[in-house]
A and B are shown apart, each in its own frame.
Chain A
Protein backbone atom coordinates (compact mmCIF):
# COMPACT_ATOMS: atom_id res chain seq x y z
CA UNK A 1 0.00 0.00 0.00
CA UNK A 2 1.39 3.39 -0.97
CA UNK A 3 0.31 6.83 0.19
CA UNK A 4 -1.89 8.27 -2.54
CA UNK A 5 -1.31 11.39 -4.55
CA UNK A 6 -2.11 14.60 -2.69
CA UNK A 7 -2.69 12.89 0.64
CA UNK A 8 0.33 14.35 2.42
CA UNK A 9 0.60 18.12 3.01
CA UNK A 10 3.10 19.87 0.73
CA UNK A 11 5.68 20.39 3.50
CA UNK A 12 5.66 16.69 4.46
CA UNK A 13 5.86 15.61 0.83
CA UNK A 14 8.90 17.86 0.30
CA UNK A 15 10.51 16.70 3.56
CA UNK A 16 10.24 13.00 2.73
CA UNK A 17 11.58 13.65 -0.77
CA UNK A 18 14.58 15.39 0.82
CA UNK A 19 15.14 12.51 3.27
CA UNK A 20 14.95 9.86 0.53
CA UNK A 21 17.05 11.72 -2.05
CA UNK A 22 20.54 11.01 -0.56
CA UNK A 23 19.90 7.25 -0.51
CA UNK A 24 18.66 7.22 -4.09
CA UNK A 25 21.42 9.53 -5.35
CA UNK A 26 24.05 7.39 -3.62
CA UNK A 27 22.59 4.22 -5.15
CA UNK A 28 22.31 5.86 -8.58
CA UNK A 29 25.97 6.97 -8.47
CA UNK A 30 27.10 3.47 -7.59
CA UNK A 31 24.99 1.98 -10.36
CA UNK A 32 26.28 4.54 -12.89
CA UNK A 33 29.88 3.73 -11.97
CA UNK A 34 29.23 0.00 -12.19
CA UNK A 35 27.44 0.25 -15.54
CA UNK A 36 30.35 2.24 -17.01
CA UNK A 37 32.83 -0.36 -15.79
CA UNK A 38 30.69 -3.37 -16.78
CA UNK A 39 28.09 -2.36 -19.42
CA UNK A 40 26.52 -5.83 -19.63
CA UNK A 41 25.29 -5.44 -16.04
CA UNK A 42 22.79 -2.81 -17.15
CA UNK A 43 20.45 -5.37 -18.67
CA UNK A 44 20.79 -7.59 -15.64
CA UNK A 45 19.78 -4.65 -13.47
CA UNK A 46 16.86 -3.76 -15.74
CA UNK A 47 15.65 -7.36 -15.69
CA UNK A 48 15.93 -7.39 -11.90
CA UNK A 49 13.95 -4.14 -11.70
CA UNK A 50 11.25 -5.56 -13.95
CA UNK A 51 11.14 -8.64 -11.72
CA UNK A 52 10.65 -6.44 -8.64
CA UNK A 53 7.83 -4.59 -10.43
CA UNK A 54 6.12 -7.82 -11.40
CA UNK A 55 6.44 -9.17 -7.85
CA UNK A 56 4.00 -6.49 -6.81
CA UNK A 57 1.60 -7.58 -9.54
CA UNK A 58 1.28 -11.08 -8.07
CA UNK A 59 -1.96 -11.41 -6.14
CA UNK A 60 -1.47 -12.93 -2.71
CA UNK A 61 -4.28 -14.43 -0.59
CA UNK A 62 -4.68 -13.06 2.93
CA UNK A 63 -6.04 -14.77 6.03
CA UNK A 64 -8.57 -11.92 6.33
CA UNK A 65 -10.12 -13.05 3.05
CA UNK A 66 -8.81 -10.06 1.14
CA UNK A 67 -6.27 -10.31 -1.63
CA UNK A 68 -3.24 -8.06 -1.98
CA UNK A 69 0.24 -8.07 -3.46
CA UNK A 70 3.72 -8.46 -1.94
CA UNK A 71 6.04 -5.46 -1.73
CA UNK A 72 8.90 -7.65 -2.92
CA UNK A 73 11.37 -5.74 -0.80
CA UNK A 74 12.55 -8.73 1.24
CA UNK A 75 13.43 -10.85 -1.77
CA UNK A 76 14.82 -7.90 -3.73
CA UNK A 77 17.04 -6.72 -0.87
CA UNK A 78 18.34 -10.25 -0.29
CA UNK A 79 19.05 -10.91 -3.97
CA UNK A 80 20.21 -7.47 -5.10
CA UNK A 81 21.28 -5.63 -1.92
CA UNK A 82 19.59 -2.60 -0.29
CA UNK A 83 21.34 0.11 -2.32
CA UNK A 84 20.29 -1.38 -5.63
CA UNK A 85 16.81 -1.96 -4.24
CA UNK A 86 16.54 1.74 -3.31
CA UNK A 87 17.13 2.79 -6.93
CA UNK A 88 15.12 -0.01 -8.50
CA UNK A 89 12.34 0.61 -5.95
CA UNK A 90 12.23 4.30 -6.88
CA UNK A 91 11.84 3.46 -10.56
CA UNK A 92 9.24 0.81 -9.70
CA UNK A 93 7.25 3.31 -7.60
CA UNK A 94 7.40 5.85 -10.44
CA UNK A 95 6.13 3.18 -12.84
CA UNK A 96 3.38 2.19 -10.41
CA UNK A 97 2.25 5.82 -10.16
CA UNK A 98 2.22 6.36 -13.93
CA UNK A 99 1.11 2.91 -15.10
CA UNK A 100 -1.25 1.88 -12.29
CA UNK A 101 -2.22 5.21 -10.64
CA UNK A 102 -0.95 3.54 -7.46
CA UNK A 103 0.98 5.91 -5.17
CA UNK A 104 1.81 9.33 -6.52
CA UNK A 105 4.35 11.88 -7.68
CA UNK A 106 4.08 14.30 -4.73
CA UNK A 107 4.13 11.33 -2.31
CA UNK A 108 6.96 9.57 -4.18
CA UNK A 109 9.56 10.59 -1.59
CA UNK A 110 7.51 9.24 1.32
CA UNK A 111 6.74 6.00 -0.51
CA UNK A 112 10.38 5.57 -1.56
CA UNK A 113 11.47 5.96 2.05
CA UNK A 114 9.03 3.37 3.38
CA UNK A 115 9.13 0.80 0.56
CA UNK A 116 12.50 1.22 -1.15
CA UNK A 117 14.70 2.26 1.78
CA UNK A 118 13.32 1.25 5.21
CA UNK A 119 11.87 -2.13 4.17
CA UNK A 120 14.92 -3.29 2.17
CA UNK A 121 17.43 -2.19 4.81
CA UNK A 122 15.47 -3.99 7.57
CA UNK A 123 15.14 -7.14 5.43
CA UNK A 124 18.79 -7.11 4.34
CA UNK A 125 20.04 -6.48 7.89
CA UNK A 126 17.87 -9.22 9.36
CA UNK A 127 18.83 -11.77 6.71
CA UNK A 128 22.56 -11.21 7.13
CA UNK A 129 22.31 -10.88 10.92
CA UNK A 130 20.37 -14.10 11.31
CA UNK A 131 22.53 -16.14 8.93
CA UNK A 132 25.68 -14.93 10.72
CA UNK A 133 24.12 -16.04 14.00
CA UNK A 134 23.73 -19.51 12.52
CA UNK A 135 20.01 -19.47 11.64
CA UNK A 136 18.93 -21.55 8.67
CA UNK A 137 18.48 -19.79 5.34
CA UNK A 138 14.75 -20.55 5.24
CA UNK A 139 14.14 -19.06 8.69
CA UNK A 140 16.33 -16.03 7.90
CA UNK A 141 14.54 -15.30 4.62
CA UNK A 142 11.12 -15.78 6.24
CA UNK A 143 11.90 -13.35 9.07
CA UNK A 144 13.58 -10.88 6.69
CA UNK A 145 10.72 -10.86 4.17
CA UNK A 146 7.98 -10.74 6.81
CA UNK A 147 9.54 -8.00 8.92
CA UNK A 148 10.79 -6.09 5.85
CA UNK A 149 7.19 -5.95 4.62
CA UNK A 150 5.92 -4.97 8.07
CA UNK A 151 8.63 -2.31 8.41
CA UNK A 152 7.30 -0.68 5.25
CA UNK A 153 3.83 -0.46 6.75
CA UNK A 154 5.06 0.69 10.16
CA UNK A 155 6.98 3.52 8.47
CA UNK A 156 3.92 4.40 6.36
CA UNK A 157 1.81 4.54 9.54
CA UNK A 158 4.35 6.84 11.19
CA UNK A 159 4.47 9.06 8.10
CA UNK A 160 0.68 9.38 8.18
CA UNK A 161 0.70 9.95 11.95
CA UNK A 162 3.25 12.74 11.64
CA UNK A 163 1.13 14.38 8.94
CA UNK A 164 -2.19 13.90 10.74
CA UNK A 165 -1.69 13.78 14.54
CA UNK A 166 -4.73 12.79 16.55
CA UNK A 167 -6.30 15.81 18.33
CA UNK A 168 -6.63 13.82 21.56
CA UNK A 169 -3.82 11.26 21.40
CA UNK A 170 -1.27 13.23 19.37
CA UNK A 171 1.20 11.51 17.06
CA UNK A 172 1.23 8.36 19.24
CA UNK A 173 -2.56 8.12 19.09
CA UNK A 174 -2.60 8.63 15.34
CA UNK A 175 0.18 6.05 14.86
CA UNK A 176 -1.81 3.55 16.95
CA UNK A 177 -4.87 4.14 14.76
CA UNK A 178 -3.03 3.64 11.48
CA UNK A 179 -1.03 0.68 12.82
CA UNK A 180 -4.23 -0.88 14.16
CA UNK A 181 -5.92 -0.62 10.77
CA UNK A 182 -2.89 -1.98 8.91
CA UNK A 183 -2.38 -4.79 11.45
CA UNK A 184 -5.74 -6.29 10.47
CA UNK A 185 -4.72 -6.76 6.88
CA UNK A 186 -0.96 -6.41 6.81
CA UNK A 187 0.19 -8.88 9.46
CA UNK A 188 -1.43 -11.83 7.63
CA UNK A 189 -0.17 -10.46 4.32
CA UNK A 190 3.37 -10.05 5.65
CA UNK A 191 3.31 -13.66 6.87
CA UNK A 192 2.00 -14.74 3.45
CA UNK A 193 4.81 -12.79 1.78
CA UNK A 194 7.35 -14.40 4.13
CA UNK A 195 6.10 -17.90 3.24
CA UNK A 196 6.03 -17.07 -0.47
CA UNK A 197 9.58 -15.72 -0.32
CA UNK A 198 10.81 -18.91 1.37
CA UNK A 199 9.29 -20.99 -1.45
CA UNK A 200 10.88 -18.70 -4.08
CA UNK A 201 14.25 -18.71 -2.31
CA UNK A 202 14.34 -22.50 -1.93
CA UNK A 203 13.45 -23.06 -5.56
CA UNK A 204 15.96 -20.50 -6.78
CA UNK A 205 18.67 -22.19 -4.73
CA UNK A 206 17.71 -25.59 -6.12
CA UNK A 207 17.17 -24.80 -9.80
CA UNK A 208 18.75 -21.41 -10.59
CA UNK A 209 22.26 -21.43 -9.18
CA UNK A 210 23.77 -19.99 -12.38
CA UNK A 211 21.35 -17.03 -12.33
CA UNK A 212 22.13 -16.36 -8.68
CA UNK A 213 25.84 -16.35 -9.54
CA UNK A 214 25.11 -13.79 -12.25
CA UNK A 215 23.29 -11.63 -9.70
CA UNK A 216 26.32 -11.87 -7.40
CA UNK A 217 28.25 -10.12 -10.17
CA UNK A 218 26.67 -6.85 -9.26
CA UNK A 219 25.39 -7.53 -5.75
CA UNK A 220 28.89 -7.70 -4.31
CA UNK A 221 29.87 -4.42 -5.95
CA UNK A 222 26.75 -2.32 -5.67
CA UNK A 223 25.25 -3.48 -2.41
CA UNK A 224 26.43 -2.58 1.11
Chain B
Protein backbone atom coordinates (compact mmCIF):
# COMPACT_ATOMS: atom_id res chain seq x y z
CA UNK B 1 0.00 0.00 0.00
CA UNK B 2 2.78 2.42 0.91
CA UNK B 3 4.68 1.46 -2.27
CA UNK B 4 1.64 2.18 -4.45
CA UNK B 5 1.00 5.53 -2.74
CA UNK B 6 4.69 6.46 -2.97
CA UNK B 7 4.75 5.68 -6.70
CA UNK B 8 1.53 7.66 -7.20
CA UNK B 9 3.07 10.68 -5.45
CA UNK B 10 6.46 10.59 -7.18
CA UNK B 11 5.97 9.44 -10.80
CA UNK B 12 6.53 11.73 -13.78
CA UNK B 13 2.80 12.05 -14.39
CA UNK B 14 2.14 13.37 -10.87
CA UNK B 15 1.21 16.87 -12.12
CA UNK B 16 -0.94 15.70 -15.00
CA UNK B 17 -4.67 16.19 -14.35
CA UNK B 18 -6.26 13.23 -12.55
CA UNK B 19 -9.15 13.38 -15.04
CA UNK B 20 -6.76 12.73 -17.95
CA UNK B 21 -5.14 9.73 -16.26
CA UNK B 22 -8.51 8.32 -15.18
CA UNK B 23 -9.84 8.75 -18.72
CA UNK B 24 -6.83 6.96 -20.23
CA UNK B 25 -6.70 3.99 -17.85
CA UNK B 26 -10.43 3.50 -17.18
CA UNK B 27 -11.12 4.05 -20.88
CA UNK B 28 -8.61 1.38 -21.90
CA UNK B 29 -10.05 -0.91 -19.21
CA UNK B 30 -13.54 -0.54 -20.70
CA UNK B 31 -12.22 -1.13 -24.23
CA UNK B 32 -10.54 -4.30 -22.95
CA UNK B 33 -13.68 -5.44 -21.13
CA UNK B 34 -16.18 -4.73 -23.87
CA UNK B 35 -14.66 -5.00 -27.34
CA UNK B 36 -11.10 -6.32 -27.45
CA UNK B 37 -10.27 -9.85 -28.63
CA UNK B 38 -7.04 -11.80 -28.12
CA UNK B 39 -4.74 -9.50 -30.06
CA UNK B 40 -6.52 -6.39 -28.82
CA UNK B 41 -5.93 -7.47 -25.21
CA UNK B 42 -2.22 -7.95 -25.82
CA UNK B 43 -1.94 -4.59 -27.60
CA UNK B 44 -3.73 -2.79 -24.74
CA UNK B 45 -1.57 -4.60 -22.15
CA UNK B 46 1.63 -3.54 -23.93
CA UNK B 47 0.33 0.02 -24.34
CA UNK B 48 -0.46 0.30 -20.62
CA UNK B 49 2.96 -1.09 -19.67
CA UNK B 50 4.64 1.43 -22.00
CA UNK B 51 2.64 4.29 -20.45
CA UNK B 52 3.35 3.22 -16.86
CA UNK B 53 6.99 2.16 -17.19
CA UNK B 54 8.04 4.46 -20.02
CA UNK B 55 6.01 7.65 -19.86
CA UNK B 56 5.21 7.83 -16.13
CA UNK B 57 8.56 6.18 -15.19
CA UNK B 58 7.11 4.00 -12.44
CA UNK B 59 9.65 1.41 -11.24
CA UNK B 60 9.29 -2.17 -12.48
CA UNK B 61 9.60 -3.39 -8.89
CA UNK B 62 6.54 -1.36 -7.86
CA UNK B 63 4.52 -2.70 -10.80
CA UNK B 64 5.55 -6.25 -9.99
CA UNK B 65 4.75 -5.88 -6.28
CA UNK B 66 1.29 -4.47 -7.06
CA UNK B 67 0.56 -7.27 -9.54
CA UNK B 68 1.41 -10.28 -7.34
CA UNK B 69 -1.88 -10.60 -5.47
CA UNK B 70 -4.21 -10.08 -8.47
CA UNK B 71 -2.08 -12.53 -10.48
CA UNK B 72 -2.65 -15.23 -7.85
CA UNK B 73 -6.42 -14.79 -8.04
CA UNK B 74 -6.44 -14.79 -11.83
CA UNK B 75 -4.33 -17.97 -11.99
CA UNK B 76 -6.54 -19.78 -9.45
CA UNK B 77 -9.78 -18.63 -11.11
CA UNK B 78 -8.59 -19.59 -14.58
CA UNK B 79 -7.44 -23.02 -13.38
CA UNK B 80 -10.87 -23.66 -11.82
CA UNK B 81 -12.58 -22.71 -15.08
CA UNK B 82 -10.41 -25.21 -16.95
CA UNK B 83 -11.89 -28.20 -15.12
CA UNK B 84 -15.48 -29.44 -15.34
CA UNK B 85 -17.60 -30.96 -12.62
CA UNK B 86 -20.89 -32.78 -13.00
CA UNK B 87 -22.87 -35.40 -11.08
CA UNK B 88 -23.42 -38.90 -12.43
CA UNK B 89 -24.08 -40.90 -9.30
CA UNK B 90 -21.20 -38.97 -7.75
CA UNK B 91 -18.92 -36.06 -8.59
CA UNK B 92 -17.14 -36.48 -11.96
CA UNK B 93 -14.19 -34.18 -12.54
CA UNK B 94 -12.51 -33.74 -15.91
CA UNK B 95 -10.63 -31.33 -18.13
CA UNK B 96 -12.89 -28.89 -19.98
CA UNK B 97 -13.37 -29.11 -23.75
CA UNK B 98 -11.12 -26.98 -26.00
CA UNK B 99 -13.74 -24.22 -26.39
CA UNK B 100 -14.03 -23.87 -22.62
CA UNK B 101 -10.25 -23.92 -22.21
CA UNK B 102 -9.98 -21.15 -24.76
CA UNK B 103 -12.74 -19.10 -23.06
CA UNK B 104 -11.06 -19.54 -19.64
CA UNK B 105 -7.68 -18.46 -21.03
CA UNK B 106 -9.29 -15.43 -22.66
CA UNK B 107 -10.98 -14.42 -19.39
CA UNK B 108 -7.61 -14.71 -17.65
CA UNK B 109 -5.91 -12.57 -20.30
CA UNK B 110 -8.69 -9.95 -20.21
CA UNK B 111 -8.40 -9.79 -16.43
CA UNK B 112 -4.61 -9.36 -16.67
CA UNK B 113 -5.13 -6.44 -19.09
CA UNK B 114 -7.80 -4.80 -16.91
CA UNK B 115 -5.68 -5.27 -13.77
CA UNK B 116 -2.77 -3.61 -15.62
CA UNK B 117 -5.05 -0.63 -16.33
CA UNK B 118 -6.10 -0.49 -12.64
CA UNK B 119 -2.49 -0.71 -11.49
CA UNK B 120 -1.57 1.97 -14.02
CA UNK B 121 -4.16 4.31 -12.53
CA UNK B 122 -3.24 3.45 -8.93
CA UNK B 123 0.51 3.91 -9.52
CA UNK B 124 0.19 7.24 -11.31
CA UNK B 125 -2.64 8.99 -9.47
CA UNK B 126 -2.93 9.52 -5.68
CA UNK B 127 -6.22 8.39 -4.19
CA UNK B 128 -6.92 11.88 -2.83
CA UNK B 129 -6.76 13.32 -6.36
CA UNK B 130 -9.27 10.73 -7.58
CA UNK B 131 -11.58 11.42 -4.62
CA UNK B 132 -11.46 15.16 -5.28
CA UNK B 133 -12.18 14.52 -8.95
CA UNK B 134 -15.22 12.37 -8.05
CA UNK B 135 -16.35 15.07 -5.61
CA UNK B 136 -16.18 17.71 -8.35
CA UNK B 137 -18.23 15.41 -10.60
CA UNK B 138 -21.13 15.37 -8.13
CA UNK B 139 -20.54 12.85 -5.32
CA UNK B 140 -22.42 13.94 -2.17
CA UNK B 141 -20.04 16.25 -0.26
CA UNK B 142 -20.69 14.50 3.06
CA UNK B 143 -19.79 11.09 1.63
CA UNK B 144 -16.68 12.33 -0.18
CA UNK B 145 -15.60 14.17 2.97
CA UNK B 146 -16.12 10.96 4.93
CA UNK B 147 -13.91 9.12 2.45
CA UNK B 148 -11.23 11.84 2.67
CA UNK B 149 -11.22 11.59 6.46
CA UNK B 150 -11.07 7.81 6.29
CA UNK B 151 -8.05 8.12 4.03
CA UNK B 152 -6.26 10.35 6.55
CA UNK B 153 -7.09 8.16 9.52
CA UNK B 154 -6.13 4.93 7.71
CA UNK B 155 -2.46 5.95 7.75
CA UNK B 156 -2.55 6.73 11.47
CA UNK B 157 -4.25 3.43 12.25
CA UNK B 158 -1.88 1.44 10.06
CA UNK B 159 1.03 2.99 11.89
CA UNK B 160 -0.47 1.95 15.25
CA UNK B 161 -1.16 -1.54 13.91
CA UNK B 162 2.35 -2.09 12.59
CA UNK B 163 3.96 -0.79 15.78
CA UNK B 164 1.77 -3.13 17.81
CA UNK B 165 2.52 -6.09 15.57
CA UNK B 166 6.27 -5.51 15.86
CA UNK B 167 6.03 -5.24 19.64
CA UNK B 168 3.97 -8.44 19.88
CA UNK B 169 6.33 -10.34 17.57
CA UNK B 170 9.32 -9.22 19.63
CA UNK B 171 7.61 -10.64 22.74
CA UNK B 172 6.91 -14.00 21.03
CA UNK B 173 3.26 -13.05 20.57
CA UNK B 174 3.22 -14.67 17.13
CA UNK B 175 4.69 -18.01 18.21
CA UNK B 176 1.99 -20.55 17.40
CA UNK B 177 -1.46 -20.38 15.86
CA UNK B 178 -3.46 -19.87 19.06
CA UNK B 179 -1.13 -17.21 20.40
CA UNK B 180 -1.25 -15.35 17.08
CA UNK B 181 -5.06 -15.28 17.20
CA UNK B 182 -5.01 -13.95 20.79
CA UNK B 183 -2.36 -11.36 19.93
CA UNK B 184 -4.34 -10.23 16.88
CA UNK B 185 -7.51 -9.94 18.95
CA UNK B 186 -5.78 -7.90 21.66
CA UNK B 187 -4.18 -5.66 19.05
CA UNK B 188 -7.46 -4.93 17.27
CA UNK B 189 -9.34 -4.45 20.54
CA UNK B 190 -6.70 -1.97 21.69
CA UNK B 191 -6.76 -0.24 18.34
CA UNK B 192 -10.42 0.83 18.38
CA UNK B 193 -10.16 3.08 21.47
CA UNK B 194 -6.99 4.63 20.04
CA UNK B 195 -8.67 5.30 16.69
CA UNK B 196 -11.73 6.82 18.29
CA UNK B 197 -9.55 8.90 20.64
CA UNK B 198 -7.59 10.26 17.68
CA UNK B 199 -10.84 11.00 15.87
CA UNK B 200 -12.18 12.93 18.86
CA UNK B 201 -8.96 14.93 19.14
CA UNK B 202 -9.01 15.65 15.41
CA UNK B 203 -12.64 16.75 15.75
CA UNK B 204 -11.78 19.16 18.55
CA UNK B 205 -8.81 20.53 16.58
CA UNK B 206 -10.89 21.07 13.47
CA UNK B 207 -13.73 22.65 15.46
CA UNK B 208 -11.48 25.36 16.92
CA UNK B 209 -10.18 26.09 13.41
CA UNK B 210 -13.68 26.76 12.13
CA UNK B 211 -14.28 23.45 10.39
CA UNK B 212 -17.31 23.90 8.15
CA UNK B 213 -17.79 20.27 7.18
CA UNK B 214 -15.39 20.27 4.21
CA UNK B 215 -11.81 18.98 4.28
CA UNK B 216 -9.68 20.38 1.50
CA UNK B 217 -6.46 18.81 0.17
CA UNK B 218 -3.78 20.83 -1.62
CA UNK B 219 -3.79 19.57 -5.22
CA UNK B 220 -0.55 19.21 -7.19
CA UNK B 221 -2.26 18.45 -10.51
CA UNK B 222 -2.76 20.86 -13.37
CA UNK B 223 -6.35 21.75 -14.31
CA UNK B 224 -7.82 19.43 -16.93
CA UNK B 225 -8.24 21.15 -20.31
CA UNK B 226 -11.52 20.22 -22.03
CA UNK B 227 -9.77 20.13 -25.42
CA UNK B 228 -7.21 17.57 -24.20
CA UNK B 229 -9.94 15.46 -22.61
CA UNK B 230 -11.88 15.53 -25.87
CA UNK B 231 -8.74 14.53 -27.77
CA UNK B 232 -8.11 11.63 -25.38
CA UNK B 233 -11.76 10.53 -25.63
CA UNK B 234 -11.42 10.58 -29.41
CA UNK B 235 -8.27 8.47 -29.13
CA UNK B 236 -10.15 5.94 -27.00
CA UNK B 237 -12.96 5.70 -29.55
CA UNK B 238 -10.29 5.11 -32.19
CA UNK B 239 -8.64 2.47 -29.95
CA UNK B 240 -12.01 0.76 -29.41
CA UNK B 241 -12.67 0.67 -33.14
CA UNK B 242 -9.15 -0.66 -33.76
CA UNK B 243 -9.53 -3.31 -31.05
CA UNK B 244 -12.87 -4.43 -32.49
CA UNK B 245 -11.34 -4.61 -35.97
CA UNK B 246 -8.19 -6.59 -35.07
CA UNK B 247 -10.09 -8.85 -32.66
Contact = CB atoms under 8 A, between A and B. Distances in A.
A167 interface: yes
Interface in A125-184: 160, 164, 166-169, 173-174, 176-178, 180-181
Contact of B150 (A31, A35, A49, A57): A49
Contact of B29 (A5, A9, A174): A5
Contacts of B30: 106
A61 B87 CA distance: 34
Contacts of B81: 164
A5 B120 CA distance: 12
Contacts of B107: 7, 164
Interface in B159-189: 161, 177, 180-182, 184-189
A1 B242 CA distance: 34
Contacts of A168: 84-86, 92, 94
A87 B181 contact: no
A13 B122 CA distance: 20
A166 B73 contact: no
Contacts of A169: 84-87
Contacts, number: 235
Nearest to A1: B73
A93 B119 CA distance: 15
Interface string A75-101: 000000000000110011011011111
Given A45-B146, A204-B192, A6 B4 contact: no
A25 B83 CA distance: 39
Interface stretch (B53-61, B63-71, B227-235): B63-71
Contacts of A94: 147
B5 A99 contact: yes
Interface residues of B, number: 85
A5 B154 contact: no
Interface in A35-61: 35-36, 39-40, 42-51, 53-55, 57-58, 60-61
Closest 5 CB pairs of A and B: A6-B114, A199-B185, A46-B149, A203-B189, A47-B199
15 contacts: A5-B118, A6-B110, A6-B117, A53-B157, A91-B147, A91-B150, A95-B154, A99-B1, A168-B85, A169-B86, A173-B87, A177-B80, A199-B185, A200-B185, A202-B189
Given A31-B142, A53-B150, A199-B189, 14 more contacts: A5-B111, A5-B114, A13-B33, A36-B142, A44-B199, A47-B195, A51-B195, A53-B154, A54-B161, A166-B85, A196-B181, A199-B186, A203-B189, A211-B196
Interface of B: 1, 4-5, 26, 29-30, 32-34, 66-67, 69-70, 73-74, 76-77, 80-81, 83-87, 91-92, 94, 96-97, 99-100, 104, 107, 110-115, 117-119, 121-122, 127, 130, 140, 142-143, 145-147, 149-154, 156-158, 161, 177, 180-182, 184-193, 195-196, 198-200, 202-203, 206, 213
